[in-house]
Amino acid sequence: MSASQISKSDANNSKMSFGQGSYGHSSWGRSCNCGRSTTKIKSWTDDNPGRRFFRCDVHGFVSWSDVEKQCTWQKLSLLEARDELKALKESLRTPINQQAIKEEEETKKLEEETKKLEVEKKTLEEEKKVWKEKEKLHNQLQSRGHVSLLP
């Protein structure tokens, strides 16, 4: 693969780190041929793992920041580390997804319980109204000297 083919592959490959913070990502550097500023990012392709290059947002790869490629052992170490990170991320997804499902089920149960309690509350409020009316009637009858009909 020629240098220009590698460049296009790295600049357009989705296996790149666009970095966060100052590590592996900065907005200063060489300008693109179009005059726009470039961003220094890291390639995570199999051919150039960890190698930094300047990328134009419009045109992609501009030039390598690292002058030379890493040695074979460095390349293999970086690829192993990348693959281990991917495996760790994937292993974390399952428990996180299971926890989310569990929480969703718990939320549904709580919502159902809330609805039941609201219905019960409404029923009790209606019963309370009825008892208040009966009590009012009872008090009126007692004040007039009538015998109580309530237990």
DSSP string, 26-95: BS-SPBPTTS-B-EEEE--SSSSTT-EEEEETTTEEEEESSSSPPPHHHHHHHHHHHHHHHHHHHHHHHH
Mean pLDDT of the region 110-119: 96
Residue 39 to residue 29: CA distance in whole angstroms: 7
Predicted pLDDT at 98? 87
Residue 116 to residue 128: CA distance in whole angstroms: 18
Q: Which of the residue ranges 8-12, 35-39, 104-108 would you say has the lowest mean pLDDT? A: 8-12
What is the chain's Cα-based Rg? Answer: 36
Tell me: pLDDT of 15 over 70. Answer: no
Residue 68 to residue 9: CA distance in whole angstroms: 17
Residue 136 to residue 117: CA distance in whole angstroms: 28
* Residue of 20, 18, 32 whose CA lies nearest to 61: 32
Indicate the average pLDDT of the chain.
77
Please name the amino acid found at residue 127.
E
pTM reported for the whole predicted model: 0.37
Mean pLDDT of the region 68-73: 73
Residue 77 to residue 85: CA distance in whole angstroms: 12
For the record, the structure tokens of 146 come out as 């009538």
